[in-house]
Structures are given as structure tokens and as C-alpha cells.
Amino acid sequence: MIEPGQRGAVAELVAAQFKEGNDHELTYMVASGFESRSPHNGNNARFKKTNTMEKVRAKFKCVLVEDQPDSEQKLVDFEPVIDGSEENKSFAKYTPAAGAYLNISYETPASNFFEEGKEYYLDFTKAEN
């Protein structure tokens, strides 16, 4: 979660991603007081003042898929991407530490979705209460 004191850092992240050419993320990303606009929509990387953040995207690598037959689940473990592509380096710069894991029931097709060594995006959006 982004705290109010971190708003400048988030705006910096948006500006840096524009500079690095990562506008694929910024076509929809609204970051703590600044709505980004992609150069592809004719707005030439300008920022519009807003007061919301609609989505945060992280990128992870699946490092473990383990059967757990006693509980009829698979354990899937993820680590943040840190190297490889330029996109991964950009994600690593702004989210260098994270962790995620899932226990997925054998009863759902999702138990066969993840593969060790593959990379996945994780999008965070606020849930309505």
C-alpha cells in the first residue's frame, strides 16, 4: 500500500517508466495523484492531476510448484523478477522485494495453470466492501 508520504516516489516511478519507454504499463496506470497518459494516445506523456490509484501491477517468477496430496492442493511460490529483460529490471528497481504464494485446490483448473520458471503479472485492484 502506498502511504501519503510516498506520493513523490510513485510520481517519480511513473516519470521514470515514461523515460525508459515502458508506456505499456502507463496507458492505464493511475499513480497516487497523477494519471499517466501514454504517448500512443497523442498526449505526449503528460500527467493529469487525480486523487486516486486504480491499479498496481507487480511481476513475479514462479519458483516452485509442489504437489501436496495429503491436502489435495498444489503449493505455488513466487519471487519478484529481478533481472533478464529491461521490463524486469524496471519492475525490480521499484519493487525489489516481495513475496507471494498460493495453495490451490486440485478441484480447480487453476491448479495446473502455473509453471516453474515462468513469469506472471499480479494486478492489485481495490475490492468493493
The number of beta carbons lying within 10 Å of the beta carbon of residue 27 is 12
- Residue of 64, 65, 99 lying closest to 81 (CA atoms): 99
pLDDT tens over the chain, length 129 residues: 444 444 333 334 444 444 444 444 443 333 333 344 444 445 454 545 555 778 889 999 999 999 999 999 999 999 999 999 999 999 999 888 899 999 999 999 999 999 999 999 999 999 998
Whether residue 75 contacts residue 117, with contact meaning beta carbons closer than 8 Å, is answered with: no
Which amino acid makes up residue 17? Q
pTM for the model stands at 0.59
Q: Domain boundaries in the chain?
A: 4-49, 56-124
Q: At residue 110, what are phi and psi to the nearest 5 degrees?
A: -60, -20
58, β-bridge pairs:
122
- Distance, in Å, from the CA atom of 127 to the CA atom of 119, rounded to the nearest integer, reads 25
